[in-house]
Structure 1
Amino acid sequence: MGPTRARIAIDAMGGDHAPAEIVAGALRAQEELGIEALLVGDPDQIQAYLKQHNSSAHLEIIPSEGTIEMNEEPLGALKRKPKASINVAMDLVKQKRADAVVSAGHSGAAMAAALLRLGRLRGIDRPAIGAVLPTLVAGKPVLILDVGANVDCRPKFLEQFAQMGTIYSQYVLGVSTPKVGLLNIGEEPCKGNDQAVRTHQMLQDNPKIPFVGNAEGRDVLSGQFDVIVCDGFVGNILLKFAEAVGEVALQILREELPQGLNGKLGVTLLKPNLKRIKQRMDHAEHGGGLLLGVDGVCIISHGSSQAPSIFNAVRLAKEAVDHQVLDRIQSCYGRKTAPASEGE
């Protein structure tokens, strides 16, 4: 029996380009991926943008009131605005009316709403945001977690990230035996701070984690590792730096290629190659990060996401649902869900 038709709740009001780009990405996702898109937000605004697209697709609209602004403190804002789009979207997952939620809005608010409304999976102390980046090996991405959910981490949190990352890499990215690394300043087990040394030992001792050792900064995009574990402070800096390097490299190519190969003729000849380069390097191709460790599939997209990135975020959500990532993580830690958290 094949996977059921996934129902994805999409926060239409979250992000720099909401709701126009969100609506466009959702429409494409429903048409091409065979999912049911539930657009959460202001019905009038959503309907206005839907009319701009010549599409026969019918998207269900779930009304909400307001959104969490980027300058607002997440927990307080979520409580002041119980009908905000991210709250309503999370409630759809909690009520089993949707299988997953996608949001390009306030990432802190999305994580807090997931914790408050969905709760943590039993055995998981802290959820982690996993981001997929390209590597030097074509078709072999690397999963990095955490990239922003937890600034400070104990070794046991990092061990849990490694185990969740292993499951995600196996069942969504299709790596039979993922090579898991711990981000550090050297390869030797004794390198790094106390957290790194203790975490190294825990990962090495855990038979469920295919740990291969420390990964230095130069190893992250080498293709030698399938999963790299770090705290959210370092991971967020690493993610944004990698995105910036990709943008710089693409810009340099645009500027320098016309200088050779007979100018514009050379660029025309190389256009298919440039398109493939962009696809390999552009963070929009990956859509965002999966919040692992909460009792629901939640994709946190870039605030600057446009339609292609939203499409890929929905694709990512669908893959997580189809491959039963939550059930597989729960099987490692027990079936029950930890209670929703107020301030963790």
Structure 2
Amino acid sequence: MGQGRQLRVGLDGFGSDRRPDPEIEAAVRAAEAGIEVELVGDRAVLAAKLSELSTRAAGIHLAHASTQIEMDESPARAVRAKPDASLCVAIDRLAAGHVDAVVSAGNSGALLAAALMRLGRVAGVDRPAIATSFPRVPAHAGHTVLLDAGANVQCKVINLVQFAVIGAAFSRVQSGIDRPRVGVLANGTEVAKGTALTRGVHEILSHDLASRSEAFEFIGYVEPGQLFADSCDVAVTDGWTGNVVLKLAEAAMLAWPTMLRAELAGSASVDAVQGERRIADAIEPALQGVARRLDPEAHGGAPLLGVDGAVMICHGAATSRALLNALLAAQRFATGGLTQAVASAIQGHAELFELARNLH
């Protein structure tokens, strides 16, 4: 945090599909909640829109960026060619200490590239990972952390072994679990299941070096359905698989409450049974509560772990509500010591990582 000011979160003002309106509304709502926000983007456009909001815009700072990176641009090439793009400037502001965290709904590959080029990796990390959380049943069981959720399409054994350590550190900071249970995502729980990658990771995490770790407990393979159960605290996979799992889960989370509500309403109207209508009315509050727990926008974004700074990645279709929740999460990220916890965990497992490199 910079001297003489309170914690400040940078928000890429031209990242989302409907930029900059969701970003501006999120910044205003965050400022009203007491968060100091710096909007990054075309200053003239942002200032004109904020002026229409009068006193609601108090507490919002502006940093100029003359252009933006489109979703279909090549990430690394665009970051090099457009250093004055909004997400690049936002990351530069973080690297220079002008803000303490960054949130962006822009091109996630470009955000990763910018973070790697301008912030660098935490010492010892081969590849950063995107972490996302799945709500568990029952409700009091907390969340399961999945990584990588999309930063690395192709991975080596060492990457997933490091993801296990990074994810365990995240789980400790986020949920207060002293020794998180770590599993490898696979198509079955039998040791012979999976791919060459997952079997290699299983071999390393089953080694005595890993079993002696006080940072996590390795429990073997976990199936996708176990992400919603109290089976493990952290699940690791490659970014391609993790991103497909995440998108499928988000679609199912949004669809099933609506499907169930329609089924209840249809059954009641067809049969014209008053009792069924009463049951549907009675179940609606509970259904709404479940829908809130499963709502992806409630989390807002996903932290990029393993880079030397607090960076939150949001979906391009993020609404102002999702961006607001991402700003709140970024504030917790910056104040919770997460980057330092990851760095310490990585340093404490150098011998395990060396084993993974030597055997695979």
**TM-score by shorter chain over 0.5:** yes
Please show how residues 265-276 of structure 1 align to structure 2 within 5 Å: 270-276=283-289
Task: Report the Cα distance in structure 2 between the residues aligned to 1:52 and 1:280, rounded to whole angstroms.
Answer: 34
Aligned to 1:138: 139
Most deviating of 173-182 and 233-242: 173-182
Deviation, structure 1 residue 213: 1.4
Read off the aligned partner of 2:228 and give its amino acid letter: L
Task: Report the Cα distance in structure 2 between the residues aligned to 1:302 and 1:28, rounded to whole angstroms.
Answer: 19
Asked whether the 8 Å contact 2:181–2:234 carries over to 1, the reply is yes
Are residue 228 (structure 1) and residue 235 (structure 2) matched? yes
Read off the aligned partner of 1:310 and give its amino acid letter: L
Aligned to 1:339: none
SS at 2:103 equivalent: strand
Deviation, structure 1 residue 203: 1.6
SS at 2:228 equivalent: coil
Aligned to 2:32: 31
SS at 1:67 equivalent: coil
Aligned to 1:10: 11
Gaps of 5+ in 1: 336-344
Task: Report the Cα distance in structure 2 between the residues aligned to 1:57 and 1:268, rounded to whole angstroms.
Answer: 43
Are residue 286 (structure 1) and residue 299 (structure 2) matched? yes
Task: Report the Cα distance in structure 1 between the residues aligned to 2:201 and 2:335, rounded to whole angstroms.
Answer: 32
Closer, same or farther: CA 233–322 of 1 in aligned 2, 3 Å: same
Are residue 20 (structure 1) and residue 27 (structure 2) matched? no
Aligned to 1:340: none
Aligned to 1:147: 149
Task: Report the Cα distance in structure 1 between the residues aligned to 2:64 and 2:136, rounded to whole angstroms.
Answer: 41
Please give the per-residue CA displacement for 1:74-102, whole angstroms capped at 9, x wherever unaligned. 11111111100001000011001111110
Task: Report the Cα distance in structure 2 between the residues aligned to 1:91 and 1:119, rounded to whole angstroms.
Answer: 12
Asked whether the 8 Å contact 1:133–1:283 carries over to 2, the reply is no
Please show how residues 6-155 of structure 1 align to structure 2 within 5 Å: 6-32=7-33, 34-53=34-53, 55=56, 57-139=58-140, 140-155=142-157
Deviation, structure 1 residue 256: 2.4
Task: Report the Cα distance in structure 1 between the residues aligned to 2:283 and 2:42, rounded to whole angstroms.
Answer: 44
SS at 1:171 equivalent: helix
Sequence identity (%): 37
Task: Report the Cα distance in structure 2 between the residues aligned to 1:112 and 1:254, rounded to whole angstroms.
Answer: 43
Deviation, structure 1 residue 253: 3.0
Deviation, structure 1 residue 44: 2.4
Asked whether the 8 Å contact 1:135–1:222 carries over to 2, the reply is yes
Task: Report the Cα distance in structure 2 between the residues aligned to 1:302 and 1:90, rounded to whole angstroms.
Answer: 18
SS at 1:55 equivalent: helix
Task: Report the Cα distance in structure 1 between the residues aligned to 2:132 and 2:239, rounded to whole angstroms.
Answer: 11
Asked whether the 8 Å contact 2:169–2:345 carries over to 1, the reply is no
Deviation, structure 1 residue 254: 3.7
Please give the per-residue CA displacement for 1:117-148, whole angstroms capped at 9, x wherever unaligned. 11111110000000112222214111110011
Are residue 183 (structure 1) and residue 189 (structure 2) matched? no
Among 315, 331, 334, the alignment partner of 1:321 is: 334
Aligned to 1:304: 317
Gaps of 5+ in 2: 349-360
SS at 1:172 equivalent: helix
Please show how residues 187-226 of structure 1 align to structure 2 within 5 Å: 187-205=189-207, 206=210, 207=213, 208-226=215-233
Asked whether the 8 Å contact 2:162–2:346 carries over to 1, the reply is no
TM-score with structure 2 length normalisation?
Answer: 0.86
Aligned to 2:169: 167
TM-score with structure 1 length normalisation?
Answer: 0.90
Deviation, structure 1 residue 268: 6.0
Aligned to 2:352: none
Task: Report the Cα distance in structure 2 between the residues aligned to 1:23 and 1:248, rounded to whole angstroms.
Answer: 29
Q: Cα RMSD over matched residues?
A: 2.1
Task: Report the Cα distance in structure 1 between the residues aligned to 2:93 and 2:284, rounded to whole angstroms.
Answer: 43
Deviation, structure 1 residue 269: 5.4
Task: Report the Cα distance in structure 1 between the residues aligned to 2:232 and 2:51, rounded to whole angstroms.
Answer: 46
Closer, same or farther: CA 275–25 of 1 in aligned 2, 3 Å: farther
Read off the aligned partner of 2:20 and give its amino acid letter: P
SS at 1:225 equivalent: coil
SS at 1:195 equivalent: helix
Deviation, structure 1 residue 277: 1.8
Quick check: which has more Rg, 1 or 2?
2
Most deviating of 74-83 and 184-193: 184-193
Q: What is the total number of aligned residue pairs between the two structures?
A: 331
Asked whether the 8 Å contact 2:11–2:103 carries over to 1, the reply is yes
Read off the aligned partner of 1:153 and give its amino acid letter: C
Task: Report the Cα distance in structure 1 between the residues aligned to 2:76 and 2:284, rounded to whole angstroms.
Answer: 47
Please give the per-residue CA displacement for 1:184-225, whole angstroms capped at 9, x wherever unaligned. 122123322221111012122321332111101221222322
Closer, same or farther: CA 266–29 of 1 in aligned 2, 3 Å: farther
Task: Report the Cα distance in structure 2 between the residues aligned to 1:111 and 1:275, rounded to whole angstroms.
Answer: 35
